[in-house]
Amino acid sequence: MAEQARGRLAGKVAIITGAGSGIGRAMALLFAREGATVVAAGRTPASIEETVAMIRAETGGEALAVAADVAIPADVERMVRETVARFGRIDILCNNAGIGSSKDVVAVEPDEWDRVFAVNVRGVYLGCKYALPHMLAQGGGSIINTASVLALVGAPERAAYCASKGAVVALTRQIAVEYADRGIRCNCLCPTTVDTPWVDRLLADAPDPVARRRALEERQPMGRLATAEDVAAAALYLASDDAAFVTGTAMVIDGGLSAR
C-alpha cells in the first residue's frame, strides 16, 4: 500500500472497460500498481472478478468489478453510477472494450456492421456521455479511448473494424476540443496487432497457426507483436499528470508499422 500511495495515479479512480483480459486487464493491473483505485468493467463476471482478485493480491489496493455491456445505455449508466456511489469520483475513463470483424465491405452483413459499431463506437460515446458530467463537476478528468492503427491506415477484410476505429479517433478529437477549457483531456490509443487472447483465437482458425503468427510478426518493423503491457504503458502516460498538456492525440503504438 505504501508503494501505491506514491504511484503516478495515487488517489485517482479509474474505470476500465474490457478489463477481463488482454489490454484492459493490463491497464487495470498497471494502474493499480501506480496507485489508482480501479473499476474493472466487462461482460463476463468471472473474468473481471479475476482481474480484481489479481489487483488485490498484487497491490492490496481497492478494486471493484462491474458487469456491463458497453453497447447498452443502462449498463453504462449503472457502471458510472456504482463507481461514483462507491468511490465518490471518476478521474480516468478508459473506453477500451471492443470487438473485431474480418470481412470486406461487400461480405460484411448489416447486422455484423451494426454490432461492431455498437461496441466500438457507441460504447465509447456512452462511456463519455455518462462519465463526463461527473468529471466536469469535480473539475477535470482524463478519457482514454482504445482505437487502432487501422483507424489511420487501411487493411484488407477489415471494413467495419477500420471504419469503427476511425470514428473513435474522430470522436476523441471532438471531445478534446469541446472540453479542453474545462479540465478534461481526451486521447486515444492506436495499437497494432496485440498479442492477446483475440490473436490466439485468430491463429487457431488459420490453416497453419505457426506460419500465420510468423507473418503477423514479420509485418512489424520491430519483428514482434505488441504486448498488452506496451499499450497499458501508453495509457498510463495519458492518464497521468505527465500528460497534463496532451489532449486530442491519437497515440500510435505500432512498432513503426505506420511509418513505412
DSSP string, 121-160: IIHHHHHHHHHHHHHHHHT-EEEEEE--GGGTS--TT-HH
What pLDDT score does 1 carry?
47
21 and 76 assigned to the same domain: yes
The reply to whether 103 and 138 lie within a common domain is yes
pLDDT at 244: 99
Q: What percent of the chain has pLDDT over 70?
A: 98
Write out the catalytic residue numbers.
161
Spans of the chain below 70 pLDDT: 1-5
Shared-domain flag, residues 102 and 207: no
Can you give the pLDDT at residue 260? 86
Identify the bridge partners of residue 194 per DSSP, sorted by sequence position.
Answer: 226
Q: Please report whether residue 8 resides in a domain.
A: no
Is 5 a member of any domain? Answer: no
Tell me, yes or no, whether 217 and 249 share the same domain.
no
Q: Please indicate, yes or no, if residue 249 is contained in any of the structural domains.
A: yes
Position 243 in a domain: yes
Does residue 61 share a domain with residue 177? Answer: yes
Judge contact between 19 and 27, C-beta under 8 A: yes
pLDDT digits (tens, 9 = 90+) for 92-112: 999 999 999 989 999 999 999
Q: Is the domain of 156 the same as that of 80? A: yes
Q: In terms of domains, do 93 and 68 share one?
A: yes
Q: Is residue 114 part of a domain?
A: yes
Instruction: Output the pLDDT for position 4.
Output: 55
Write down the pLDDT at residue 203. 82
Residue 179 lies in a domain: yes
Same domain, 213 and 232: no
User: 85 near 60, Cβ under 8 Å?
Assistant: no
Do residue 186 and residue 214 come from a single domain? no
Cα–Cα nearest to 227, from 19, 47, 26: 26
Within this chain, do residues 38 and 81 fall inside the same structural domain, yes or no?
yes
| pLDDT given at position 83 | 99
Does some domain include residue 260?
A: no
Please report which residue ranges of the chain form alpha helices under DSSP H. Answer: 2-5, 22-33, 45-59, 73-87, 110-117, 123-138, 159-179, 197-204, 209-219, 228-239
Pairing of strands 37-42, 13-17: parallel
Number of domains in the chain: 2
pLDDT for residue 5:
64
- Kindly state the cell numbers that stand for 146: 482504445
Range of the domain at 137: 13-191+227-253
Q: What is the CATH number of the domain that holds 94?
A: 3.40.50.720
Domain assignment of residue 4, yes or no: no
Clarify whether residues 209 and 112 are in a common domain. no
CA distances in angstroms from 136 to 129, 243, 252, 257, listed in the order given: 11, 18, 28, 37
Same domain for 158 and 213, yes or no, is no
For residue 240, the model assigns a pLDDT of: 99
Of 160, 165, 159, 227, the C-alpha closest to 199 is 227
Residues above pLDDT 90, as percent of the chain: 88
The amino acid occupying position 243 is A
What is the structure's pLDDT at 107? 96
* Overall pTM > 0.85: yes
